[in-house]
A and B are shown apart, each in its own frame.
Chain A
Amino acid sequence: MKINQISVFLENKSGRLAAVTRILSENKVNIRALSIADTSDFGILRLIVDQPKLAFDVLKNEGFSVSPTEVIGVEMPDEPGGLSGVLKILESNGFNIEYLYAFIGKGENGALVILRIEKAEEAIQCLEENGIKVLMGEKLYQL
């Protein structure tokens, strides 16, 4: 159920993000979702792509610090309170979220949010028990 995300360490200097996107484009890798966490010295780029393994290999070969990480994709109603409902379930069941960001495309039945969460397997189970749809990786890469 988990989704393979790729995280790339970037120095805070111009042209680094452009270099990553250029390498991906040359290898015909399509970016499905992305977010950047930045500090004064460095940034971490997180990517969901249609071909995670290929993206990982080409970036690594180009000398980037790349790390494969697992996240979950959650579908929710695209209306006020959609995300709030999901977070409420996670919170009341004691799950800590490391970070989250919105998916660029849209799910079949609403908005999509990517979550990095502790104890992912249990979280997935908990969400599903509460009627929340958690997306399969393969499905999400192709959305």
Chain B
Amino acid sequence: MILRNIYKFVILLFISVYFILSDQNCGKKERSTLYWNQRYETLPREELEQLQLERLKMTIERSFYSVPHYRSVMQEAGMGPEDINCLEDLQKLPFTTKEDLRNNYPYGMFAVPLSEIVRIHSSSGTTGKPTVVGYTRNDINNWAELMARALVSGGAKKNDIIHNAYGYGLFTGGLGIHYGAERLGASVIPISGGNTKRQIMIMCDYGSTVLTCTPSYALYISEMVEEMGLDPKKDLKLRCGVLGAEPWSENMRLEIEKRLDISAVDIYGISEVIGPGVAVECSCKKGLHVMEDHFIVEVIDPDTGEIIPEGEEGELVFTSLTKEGLPILRYRTRDIASVDYEPCPCGRTHIRMSRVSGRTDDMLVIRGVNVFPSQIESVLLEVGYTEPHYLLVVDREDNLDILTVWVELSSKSFASDEVRKLEELGAKIRGEIEAALGLSVKVKLVEPKTIERSEGKAKRVIDNRKL
């Protein structure tokens, strides 16, 4: 009898907790806010900052003793791990840049021996060499935890079928989401990118409920769905989307939500920091919660390096707090955004960053792939068929990014006046660029001296995309 009452009590307790949680939903009816890890996602600020400080001290100590680069920059700055006694002390540390990672290519920034590394990813470097990132088993574990939180924050649940159309491979997107989806216990379809009609067939037949991909690909899918004469409301079971890896706008979100009949949230990540899952929107869709128990975010003036007041835009700088393989201290992302400390109605205590509004360098994001003009320049110089002047023109046709590389034909390459030879030349340059970027491009041969020369910084990019 008593036992039965206890059961009843426990059941009632569960039901009431469920309702309490589902009540905190920003006043919108679309969905309740649930957490993956309620304790850490809603940790009171004071406790959170205490946790950050403990983890920061550990990270800095480990970096100092295990990564020669960090030791030497700290020594140059006349400081050591013992100088970090409060969170503000982080500002004493010098910044880390992509250049630093490149100078220590490939494994110089790792804080553990390779035998401890269980996964290696990389992202595009500013020139020929990529940036290498390594993960220990714990790192992969933490990353899966962060991604599970991100998926839940976007509305996914254990019994969802997650259609993961991020690219699998060296790019962190595919596997990052994949591990999070498995951690959540959802059924993940590792479809990766491309072959859109087949993707849609699988979405229909397998009953995918959550879509993960770049926002532009989500729009492209929606167009293809229409073209195939399907109705998202009837033929698809999609409910939500966790979209990221490229900049997008509120208008684009509304368009995707309308056309696919889903709720879509923005996810932010950068491979040097961990990959996707650094920050994600909740159902309030008013900024992305930075996973502050694993990262510290700062916003700086890109010119002076000074910390910028809350709410103002600047360059995002991240410090990892739990990473073992590649601890990263004050990493300059070159992404521009602002940070909001206002408590969020969703109950998460982690601060929110705004959407990334731009870059402090000339990096382009093409179909989710990071492209630096300097990478293309080094390919052109290497192949040597053309003048070293070039122009990158980015268009968005049918919601797909098209990168066209304009190159000036040199007289040397025009020795033969046959069309076939010039077309072969174009194809060869295209092949070289595609191999270097891992991205399909178009190559347009133009007359010499037609690409604008400028004194000082050359204009290398024309971005015609309207987000």
Contacts and interface: CB of A to CB of B under 8 A. Distances in A.
Contacts of B312: none
Contacts of B426: 41
A65 B411 contact: yes
A7 B447 contact: no
Most buried by B among A16, A46, A65, A66: A65
B48 interface: no
Contact of B423 (A10, A39, A69): A39
A42 B414 contact: no
A9 B447 contact: yes
A67 B419 contact: no
A81 interface: no
A7 B417 contact: yes
A65 B447 contact: yes
A67 B449 contact: no
Interface size class of chain A, counting residues whose CB lies under 8 Å from the partner chain: 20 to 34
A71 B447 CA distance: 24
Interface in A1-33: 5, 7, 9-11, 16
A98 interface: yes
A28 to B, nearest CB: 24
Contact of A65 (B409, B418, B423): B409
A66 B411 contact: yes
A131 interface: no
Contacts of B446: 11, 42
Contact of A63 (B415, B445, B448): B448
Interface string B398-420: 00000000000111001111110
A95 interface: no
B416 A67 contact: yes
Contacts of A46: 417
Interface string B445-458: 11111100000000
A5 B414 CA distance: 14
B414 A7 contact: yes
Contact of B447 (A60, A64, A98): A64
Nearest to B420: A98
Nearest to A43: B419
B193 to A, nearest CB: 27
Contacts of A63: 447-449
Q: Decide if the interface of chain A is mainly helix, strand, loop or mixed.
A: strand
A37 interface: yes
Contacts of A69: 416-417
A35 to B, nearest CB: 11
Contact of B445 (A5, A7, A42, A66): A42
A44 interface: yes
B444 interface: yes
Interface string A61-103: 0011111010000000000000000000000000000110000
Nearest to B410: A65
Given A65-B414, A67-B417, A69-B417, A41 B444 contact: yes
A23 to B, nearest CB: 13
B121 to A, nearest CB: 37
Contacts of B423: 39
B422 interface: yes
Interface of A: 5, 7, 9-11, 16, 37, 39, 41-42, 44, 46, 60, 63-67, 69, 98-99, 116
Interface of B: 409-411, 414-419, 422-423, 426, 444-450
19 contacts: A9-B445, A9-B447, A10-B447, A16-B447, A39-B419, A39-B422, A41-B444, A42-B422, A42-B446, A46-B417, A60-B411, A63-B447, A63-B448, A63-B449, A64-B448, A65-B409, A65-B414, A65-B447, A116-B417
